[in-house]
Amino acid sequence: MSDDTSDAAVDGQANQESEGADSEEDGECFVIAPIGDPRSETRRQTDGLLDEAIRPVVEDRLDLKVTAAHQLPEAGSITRQVIQRLLEVELVVADLTRLNANVMYELAVRHAKGRPVVPIAEKSTSLPFDITTERTVFYEDSMHGLGELKPKLEKAARAALGDKEPDNPIYRAQQDFEMRKAAEGDIMEYVIDRLDEIESSVSTISHSRDSGIDEVETHEFVMEEAIKEVATLASDVNQDPKVISASVVKSPGPGNCRLRVRTSKDLGIDEAGMILRKYL
């Protein structure tokens, strides 16, 4: 058989796999995690996480089929199958334990697509600067710890699936690019530059503020004020000890923008609103 014929057969097989994955994308959860060699401690821990926590929650309670990279069919390109699932499945669970390079790359692909993702990590994991404010669910790598993870994972998964729009570093950067493109005059450019400075200063302290917090709640308030006034308000709210971060998000509709306030999970929307009113 010629090389061209062989390549055509492989491409045909890959196309069949692609069509099959397309038909199942709305009922699947793809797990990205450190894999390691088949007999390694890393593989044992990942399989334990899948069997003891992720599958009981995602398959039994959310009715989504769970797959992971090392459990995909051998035929065809594994890389292609992984990327396809990252782009198409209904939910991704990303285990950031050990900060595995492949996992971080795959998380970025999912973030760029803007579909639901739930980051999780073993409690000793020190998250990179870029994602310290993401809604990561931390767990203890033990039977008891995996049991405690299940209700937290279910809550985070339902919240991610219910989000009306993405909330990740890539999406926020894209919004910033759009705001800069739409900005008119030096004053608006100055306001957006100041927002960059505010978010940068918040990011540098967010990890220390996040210590011991398993989840972060995000509250959003539609603001009637001009973006310059809302930027000043965000700067003031950031000084509150109960606030992890506050930032301005441009609303899809004309005129208005939103103030996004992140707090620890024990603060509800009412208390977040009371904090906001202190600075109005």
Final residue before a domain boundary, out of 162, 183, 216: 162
* Amino acid 51: pLDDT: 96
The most distant pair of C-alpha atoms in the chain lies apart, rounded to whole Å, by 76
Determine the angle formed by the axes of helices 78-88 and 101-113, rounding to 10 degrees: 40
How is residue 24 written in tokens?
A: 């199942």
How is residue 206 written in tokens?
A: 């967010």
Q: Which ranges of the chain have pLDDT less than 70? A: 1-26, 74-76, 133, 178-217, 219-228, 230, 250-256, 265, 280
Residues 207 and 127 in one domain: no
Residues 148 and 195 in one domain: no
CB neighbour list of residue 123: distance below 8 Å, 6 or more residues apart = 138, 139, 140
Final residue before a domain boundary, out of 113, 142, 162: 162
Residues 89 and 44 in one domain: yes
Residues 10 and 122 in one domain: yes
How is residue 109 written in tokens?
A: 């692909």
pTM, rounded to two decimals: 0.60
pLDDT tens digit sequence for 84-140: 999 999 999 999 999 999 999 999 999 999 999 999 999 999 888 778 767 899 999
